[in-house]
Chain A
């Protein structure tokens, strides 16, 4: 049933250039109507496909051409509060070209470029991701460490706006921290949440790896680098709390694996974990799964963890998008960790495996792991 959607009204009318122009100027695109989103492409083509990363739907869906016009359309049923990243594939002369949706100004950037973004009904871009002019700005510096494990590594170091050496701060180590900064507005969010007193003043170390798919996949060298090189160096040179409750590892995708694996290899050292869309592949039988050889060390790790779960930390925040293929793995992991006695909070969102999904969960995760002095401080 169409339910009187804008595209149906248009299709029922005259298919003329004037009607098309009126339709295009009357709406913003894609058109969000209740639980349906209509994607539109205008232009000459042999075929147009919607390419998206919503696990559970065919990843390529064909737009229908409007008779007599160079206008293409596709309507999808999308649950409320969804956020969908996509591109359009425009096929001309047998050749497909992937492009961002020319009619949609919303973009999400990631290390591979940018995607168009459709917001389902009820999704609201959080206000705390925009720079609050009242929030004081922390300082980010690029710092070098000559580590025993990996030799010279550089990392970003965030110090809160009112940092001073006479205080003690918790430490958050963020895997792929530079990407979190670029694509998930980490620094703005830290400034805002600190300003709102939702998290305490905190020192954040943003690491990046030149070989993350290997180092993050339960590699002993990575755990050693974090626990014996990086964190001790930071605790020696900065006024940090230097206790498990004041140490948090965070990461997304392989970065979440790196965080959990490091905590698993050094149980009790990290009292807080923030794991986003972790690539926690496992096998119910055998030692491989369908994801390929890069995941083999992860499968071994998660299989071992599932076979003999132990409390490696105190509080663990896990988030995952329901449109990710990893939702099964994350849903499976949460009760395993909870069963060890760790305090686990698991949240889902209608989003995919992308930086803005991870961005949108940061407030909930950080403020749960490190609650700020909301009730007692009034500036």
Chain B
């Protein structure tokens, strides 16, 4: 299976060009669930030059929740719990970052400072690991109690989705709200329906296909900003964490910050996806890229990864 991960499409759309390069004539299936109730709005997907069919995952999920009320209520309860856990995890991260900063400005031996820096990063990695494990436990408990892939309210849509996907040559996943998007993709186990078709995803869509979904913003109007994990992604592309819109969101001119970011998510490669950027993966492994930048553990930026 070929997977192409790209950056934002609203300024320099190039997904149509990718389709042409891959000789995909269409039709192609499209997921725009990250835009929630606006998923069928015109303009969310650039002109592709091939016929498209929108899978309307967001409205299908809303239909499931409305018709299967017990399941819908349980699902929303789980989401509320996960949101609260995310908030508490963020509180812990803020304190860990404050501690790291307080230590980093001490005037001590450089070797000791480097060791302490690594310890600070490890402390954050522990919080990340703990958060992922606890999210996984909540999800496992929920899925054991509510095996939704077998629920009639879900399987009915899955059948329709399978029929819609059947004549298509590729699946496109647009950006938007990454948590909403990831949840809808999981709810309908969409990738199982796609088979070996080509996958092309941008921004939030690209994030969902990686092993970890890293949320990040280092230039917020308030607070210090930073990165946090949302959850495990769908893991279609291994070994990389993608970072869309880096110019707005990352402080790439700060080598310490770049190094900490990269070390925190090792062994994943942290790679930016700006306008026009592209990563191509085959059998789960990234084999080529364009207009990408990789954040390196030594604080440098490697242009053009891999």
Contact = CB atoms under 8 A, between A and B. Distances in A.
- Secondary structure class of chain A's binding surface, majority of residues: loop
Contact of B41 (A164, A196, A368): A164
Contacts of A198: 220-221
B8 A379 contact: yes
B133 interface: no
A368 B38 contact: no
A377 B216 contact: no
Interface in A331-379: 363-364, 367-368, 371, 373-379
B245 interface: yes
A290 interface: no
A200 B135 CA distance: 27
Nearest to B206: A378
Given A162-B38, A167-B37, A368 B11 contact: no
B176 A377 contact: yes
- Secondary structure class of chain B's binding surface, majority of residues: mixed
A349 to B, nearest CB: 15
A2 interface: no
B215 A376 contact: yes
B222 A364 contact: yes
A166 interface: yes
B222 A368 contact: yes
B221 A378 contact: no
A67 interface: no
Interface in B195-214: 203-204, 207
Interface residues of B, number: 27
Contacts of B34: 377
Contacts of A142: none
Of A164, A368, A379, the most chain B CB neighbours within 10 A belong to: A379
B85 to A, nearest CB: 15
A18 interface: no
B203 A378 contact: yes
B207 A371 contact: no
Nearest to B245: A378
Interface in A181-219: 196, 198
A164 B38 contact: yes
Of A164, A198, A371, A377, the most chain B CB neighbours within 10 A belong to: A377
A164 B35 CA distance: 12
A378 B176 contact: yes
A378 B37 contact: no
B37 A166 contact: yes
B238 interface: no
A75 B139 CA distance: 67
B15 to A, nearest CB: 13
B10 interface: yes
A343 to B, nearest CB: 13
Contacts of B215: 375-376
A162 B41 contact: yes
Interface of B: 8-11, 34, 37-38, 41, 175-179, 203-204, 207, 215-217, 220-222, 228, 230, 244-245, 248
Interface pairs A-B: 10 shortest CB-CB: A367-B221, A378-B204, A378-B203, A375-B215, A374-B217, A378-B244, A379-B175, A378-B175, A379-B8, A198-B221
